[in-house]
Amino acid sequence: MHPALSVIFFTVVSGAGFGLYSLTAILQLFRLGPAMDRSELLTALITAFVLIVAGLISSTGHLANPKNAWRSFMRVKTSWLSREAVLAVIFFPFGFLYLLGVYLYGAHVPAFFGLMGLIGIVLGFMTVFATGMIYACLKTMRQWNTPLVPANYLLMGLTLGALFHLAIEAYYGANLQFITGVAGTALVMTGVMKGIYYYWIIKTSGPSINTATTFTRATVRLLDVGHTAGTFLTEEFGYQVEAGRLLMLKALVFGFGFILPLILIVAAAASQGAGFLLATLAVLSSLAGKGIERWLFFAEARHVVNLYHGAQHT
Amino acid sequence: MRLGLVIDLDTCVGCHACAVACKQWNTSGTTGPLTDYRPYGADPSGVWFNRIRHYEVGEYPNSKTINFPMSCMHCEDADCVTVCPTGASYKRKEDGVVLIDQTKCMGCNYCSWACPYGARELDRESGTMKKCTLCIDRIYDETLAEIDRQPACVITCPAHARFFGDFDDQNSEVSRLVRERDGMQLMPELGYNPTNRYLPPRINTPIPTEDVRRDSLAGKVKEWVNKAVAR
């Protein structure tokens, strides 16, 4: 698949925003970890909203006809893309009411605003799940057609959110021990999950050139594609990366996405004074790693239409 | 009613006439124009509803060239319709034809991702997705003679490898062909239940050569001279 930068930016950044919002609200509403004051909570929640909005604006970048984008709310009954759009929009009133509660009352929000925050958490998770399902529901790409995909989207968002949260706590000079534990656990779990995904997609399954042409008892070889230059199909689905480069990029995903941030946040928790700098570096490193991860997610997916253009299986 | 095409892989000669007729008819049809990019440049490209590929099936010398025209299969369980977030993509209840409302499409490409047959192509000029309409503006045109109320690709096929009709009608030509010649679906394991069917090549008995008359002595000399004389 051709990787579109706007979609990569959208899924990584708004995923991080929903993760940061959910984690901040969970920690505050359930009184987990060191107590956060009003300004700390506001910084975290506003950062989350900025990330979500930036991502959603970017998501319209890949539309060929954006003037009809408003119509994407019309088919919640069947389309995961529609569901995602609607959930993302419904999230905002609840998220904003919780933000208002924090703005007015600080860390001790009244029950009503707390309830709004809880609903916001659920809607945030549902939105990221729907983003994952946009890809996981397609039977045409076996690399996407797995429950590991929405699980991966949720965990990636939570991990980035935890790292952002850690950096904000470090900025306010809070005790980082608890949040380092949370972010570290998230990093390890998400890394393992990504490893499982990469292992899973090695196996080829599903349609081959034989079922694609009905000749299931003979070898089938492409003689001629029937067109002299590129077409929409070859441009959109014909994208390929060499095997050596794939391996190198996967190493970068684990290096920048998981291992380096883990070292950096442990160092941040232990250091006196340099905590914020180290935590910011962890966020940047993880964003880079997850950007590469998302690029690979698209570049590695092989659409079955490639069978008709010479691939023997996908 | 379940309208669709039957394509005979035995008689298709791979001349691309169906694709050209399709382009010609539909470029001025309901979803037209089918834009051409750089038509006189080095790498001309554009929107086509119908594409023909060519394959070698089997191992030489027992192999056969198969010409493979593909357009929209008008699937029974069309994922391109269910994934569409705007409702631009729809399947008509009355005849099963899958169409795109050009005024509603936002060009997100999602339906083309969901289609395993490559039947949908984005028109980069209009920013909307386009696909085979089964010549909807032709098959229902009552000003045409009944024989002309067929898709352009079917009418133009010089090898008579394409058939159009209602698969729900057991007595239609398409139903009969599928029944008699084992009409196959492409990638049935994906569960899209495509309406269009493909007829496999007929199994022909080899032409006997034992009774071919042996050459006369004069003929043999002639053949030897022909080989020996340098031209």
Measured between beta carbons, the chain A residues lying within 8 angstroms of B126 are 65
8 A C-beta contact, residue B26 and residue B41: no
Q: pLDDT at position B83, please? A: 97
Write down the pLDDT at residue B213.
Answer: 79
- Under 8 Å CB pairs connecting chains A and B tally to 180
Confidence at B120, pLDDT banded by 50, 70, 90: very high
Asked whether residue B231 carries a pLDDT value surpassing 80, the answer given is: no
> What is the pLDDT confidence band of residue B131, given thresholds at 50, 70 and 90?
very high
Rounded to two decimals, the pTM is 0.92
- Of B59, B116, B124, nearest to A219 by CB-CB distance is B59
- Position B79 scores a pLDDT of 96
Using pLDDT thresholds of 50, 70 and 90, give the confidence band for residue B207: confident
Q: What share of chain A is helix, strand, coil (3-state, %, to 5)?
A: 75, 0, 25
Is A215's CB within 8 Å of B117's CB? no
Would you state the pLDDT for residue A203?
Answer: 85
Domains and CATH numbers, chain A: 5-213+230-309 (1.20.1630.10)
Q: What is the pLDDT of residue A120?
A: 97
CATH number at residue B212: 3.30.70.20
Cα torsion for A9, A12, A13, A15, to the nearest 10°? 140
Chain B partners within 8 Å of A81 (Cβ) = 83, 85, 108, 110
Count up the domains in chain B and report the number: 1
State the pLDDT at residue A289: 97
CA atoms within 13 Å, Cβ hemisphere of B92: 16
**By mean pLDDT, which of A59-63, A287-291, B34-38, B94-98 is the weakest?**
A59-63
Rg (CA), chain A: 22
The whole-angstrom separation of Cα B83 and Cα A83 is 10
Tokens of A297: 């997610």
Residue B94 burial by CB count (10 A; 0-12/13-18/19+): exposed, middle or buried? exposed
Give the pLDDT score at A200: 94
Residue B47 pLDDT grade (very low, low, confident, very high; cuts 50, 70, 90): very high
User: Does the distance separating the beta carbons of A63 and B48 come in below 8 Å?
Assistant: no
Please give the pLDDT value at position B172: 97
Residue B219 at interface with chain A, using a CB cutoff of 8 Å: no
For range B7-32, the mean pLDDT: 95
Among all chains, which residue has been given the structure tokens 């972010």? A183
- Which residues in chain B have Cβ-Cβ distances shorter than 8 Å to A304? 116, 187, 190
Mean pLDDT over B41-63 rounds to: 94
Distance CA A185, CA B125 (A): 49
Residue B141: predicted pLDDT: 95
pLDDT given at position A271: 87
Question: How far is residue B52's CA from residue A226's CA, in Å, rounded to a whole number?
Answer: 6
| Band of pLDDT at residue B135, cut at 50, 70 and 90 | very high
Nearest-5° angle of CA A119, CA A123, CA A124?
115
Q: How close does chain B come to A64, measured CA to CA in Å?
A: 4
Do A65 and B58 count as a contact with CB atoms less than 8 A apart? no
Give per-residue pLDDT as tens, A214-228: 999 999 999 999 999
How close is the nearest chain A Cα to the Cα of B45, in Å?
6
Three-class SS of residue A301?
Answer: coil
Residue of A nearest to B104 (CA): A68
Q: Give the residue ranges of chain A where pLDDT is below 70.
A: none
Contacts of A220 in chain B (CB under 8 A): 55-57, 66
- The percentage of chain B sitting over the pLDDT mark of 70, rounded to a whole number, equals 100
Q: Is the pLDDT of residue B50 over 80?
A: yes
Question: If contacts are CB pairs under 8 Å, which of residues 15-34 in chain B contact chain A?
Answer: 16
Handedness of CA B106, B110, B113, B119 (dihedral sign): negative
The tokens 């003979």 sit on which residue?
A218
Rounded to 5 degrees, what are φ and ψ at B212?
A: -70, 130
In three-state form (DSSP H/G/I as H, E/B as E, the rest C), the secondary structure along B95-119 is CCCEEECCCCCCCCCHHHHHCCCCC
Chain A hits for B87, CB-CB cut-off 8 Å, are 71, 74-75
State the residue range of the domain holding B12.
3-230
What are the tens digits of pLDDT across the range A178-192?
A: 999 999 999 999 999
- Average pLDDT in chain B: 95
For helices A148-171 and A111-136, give the axis angle rounded to 10 degrees: 140
CA-nearest residue to A308 within chain B is B53
pLDDT at residue A243, rounded to an integer: 86
Span B145-184, pLDDT tens digits? 999 999 999 999 999 999 999 999 999 999 999 999 999 9
| pLDDT at residue B136 greater than cutoff 90 | yes
Six-digit token string for A90: 């419904």
- The CA-atom distances, in angstroms, between A299 and each of A238, B198, B206 are 10, 32, 48
Could you tell me if B57 lies within 8 Å of chain A, comparing CB atoms? yes
- How does residue B129 score in pLDDT terms, banded at 50, 70 and 90? very high
